[in-house]
Chains A and B, each alone.
Chain A
Amino acid sequence: MFWVIAVVSVPAALGMIFARKAVYCALLLAVVMLSLATAYAVLEAPFLAFVQVIVYTGAVLMLFLFVIMLVGVSSTDSLVETIRGQRLWAGIAGLGFIVLLILGLGQATLPAARGLAGANRDGNVQGLAALVFTKYVFAFEVTSALLITAALGAMVLAHRERTSPKPTQKELSRRRFESGRHPAPLPGPGTYARHNAVDMPALLPDGSVSELSVNPVIGGRPELNRSLHTDLEGETERDAVADDVAAVRAATVRGEAEPRPGTDARSGGPSGAKEDGRK
């Protein structure tokens, strides 16, 4: 069991310090923490194994991932050393440290493991609780002060002082109209006869294409869109739109030649007219 844990956790920890993306680091840290939870379970500490999974992999790593997402996933470490030879010397220092630790541990006369069968006689949780509430009760009380301080500190640090009064709804709407840009919600994509995909632009009532209706990230990738829309028969979606607009134009011109009540009875608005035009 030990070798399984070691073989999983050491490469994951190494990968953590060499992975350039912060998200990979967080996920590899999750691997290390889960393997350490296994190690606790093997070392007769079932309560700590569960706390490790719940607190570390559950809460702390999710917090890390949240902050990574807030700070920016794309931020990777630069490879430029600000201090010359820093990595080399860090490696030498790490090597020296590990040699020192292992030599020290080798020199120490450690007793053979006695096992926790006696201490865990009434159950691991009961044994821990007996210690926490008798011998370590002061540390336990101080922990509560620490937790309150941490919560307060996080609130103070995350708080942003408001420098201007909160805008009222009236001011917000006035600002929206004064800017002169599109005060209404943007038109939705795909309100269009043949396709309702998000990358198909909406048609305006006059038959032109509304660029505002397509997310610029999606609309800016025509090479991707062509492979997605097999039903367009090789056309780009702009060509398809142009064809349909031409069809609509033809239909409406024909419609105008007819007597007026006939077009009104079709009751379609633009989409009904368009479908008729394609037939």
Chain B
Amino acid sequence: MNYVILSAILFTIGALGVLIRRNAIVVFMCVELMLNAANLAFVSFARMSGNLDGQVIAFFVMVVAAAEVVVGLAIIMTIFRSRRSSSVDDANLLKY
């Protein structure tokens, strides 16, 4: 139970980071923190219900997170290469 609340707190911190940070890489790290918090909830629920399904899901989340990091960082690199900035405020080309 304690661990579920810890994961809720970590998830909220990650969401706050996504909302207030401007650097795309840091925003990305906060997304990672949210995924990790969700994993912690999965693992503690698995222990609560006494089977391993939650751990399997957490394992899949880790795989998805790793793939997401690869693609996301490649996108950040591409944006940085074309506009010399990694701030999310500058990437507003789709707005107009």
Contact = CB atoms under 8 A, between A and B. Distances in A.
Given A32-B10, A136-B60, A146-B64, A157 B52 contact: no
A153 B70 CA distance: 9
Contacts of B8: 98, 101-102, 105
Interface string B5-35: 1101111111111011111011011101100
Given A14-B13, A56-B36, A128-B55, A26 B66 contact: no
Please tell me the size bucket of the interface on B: 35 or more
Contacts of B10: 9-10, 13, 32
Given A36-B39, A44-B47, A143-B60, A71 B33 contact: no
Given A13-B10, A128-B52, A87 B20 contact: yes
A228 interface: no
A230 B2 CA distance: 60
Given A116-B50, A157-B77, 20 more contacts: A2-B3, A13-B10, A25-B26, A40-B40, A45-B46, A48-B55, A60-B66, A77-B87, A90-B19, A101-B8, A105-B1, A105-B5, A113-B1, A114-B50, A127-B52, A132-B59, A139-B60, A147-B67, A157-B71, A160-B81
